[in-house]
Amino acid sequence: MGLETLQYEEGQTPLDPDEKDGLLIPTIFTRHELDEVEQRNIEDAIRWTLERRKRFMLAEVLSEQFVIELHKRMYGEVWEWAGRFRNTNKNIGVDKYQIGIELRALLDDCRYWIENKTFSEDEIAVRFKHRIVSIHCFPNGNGRHSRLIADIIVEKIFGRPVFTWGSQSLIHTTTFRTQYLNALRQADCGIIEPLILFSRS
C-alpha cells in the first residue's frame, strides 16, 4: 500500500523541524498553536506602545535601536532570534550584510520626508512600512513588524488614527490578504497608492 497523503485542517499542519528552529516553547506543534502564542506576544507589544506612545520622540522612533526593540517585544517570548537581524540570505530582502546600511538609509530618508513634507502623512508611514519590509531585517515577522511601526509613526508623529490594514487578519489566505499582497506588488513597482488605500480600508 502506498503512503497516504495526510490532509490537515487549516492551522493544524504540524511544524517541520526547520520551522521550529529557535522556538522557545517546546510544547508548540502546529501552525495554529504558533499563531496563537505569537498573537499574544504581539498584543503585549501593542500594549507597550500604547502605554509609552505619548512619550515616544521622533528621534527615538526613527532609530535602529527602536526598530530592534519593537521586534523583540513582538516576538521575544516565542522566538530566540527576536530582535536580531537575520544572518542568512533569503529569496527576499537585501543581502544580510546590507541590512544595517539599508535600514539607516531608510531612517534618514524618513526624517527627510517628515522635515520637508515630501509626501502626505499617511504616505510617509506607508512608504516606511514598504521599505522596511523590503529590507527584511529579521528572520521572520517582518510584515507584522512593519505594519505596527507604520501605525506608531502615523499616530505618534502625525497624531492620526492608526491604520486598519483591511480590518482583518493578514496571516491566513483571505480576500483581504490577496488584496494586501497585490498592493505590495504594485508598491514594489513604484505604485504606492493601492497600498495607501488598503492601509485605510
The per-residue DSSP string of 140-159 comes to: S-HHHHHHHHHHHIIIIIT-
Does residue 42 share a domain with residue 99?
yes
84: helix, strand or coil? coil
| pLDDT at residue 1, as a whole number | 37
Q: Are residues 118 and 154 in the same domain?
A: yes
Residue 61 domain boundaries: 31-162
Of 100, 103, 119, 85, the C-alpha closest to 196 is 119
Any idea which of 74-83, 110-119, 148-157, 172-181 has the lowest mean pLDDT? 172-181
What's the burial of 20, exposed, middle or buried (CB within 10 Å: 0-12/13-18/19+)? middle
Mean pLDDT over 34-59 rounds to 87
Q: Does pLDDT of 7 surpass 80?
A: no
97 and 48 co-located in one domain: yes
The residue written with cell numbers 502625525 in the block is 158
Same domain for 156 and 168:
no
Q: Grid coordinates standing for 101?
A: 546600511
| Predicted TM-score (pTM) of this structure | 0.88
CATH number of the domain within which 35 lies:
1.10.3290.10
Q: Indicate the number of domains in the chain.
A: 2
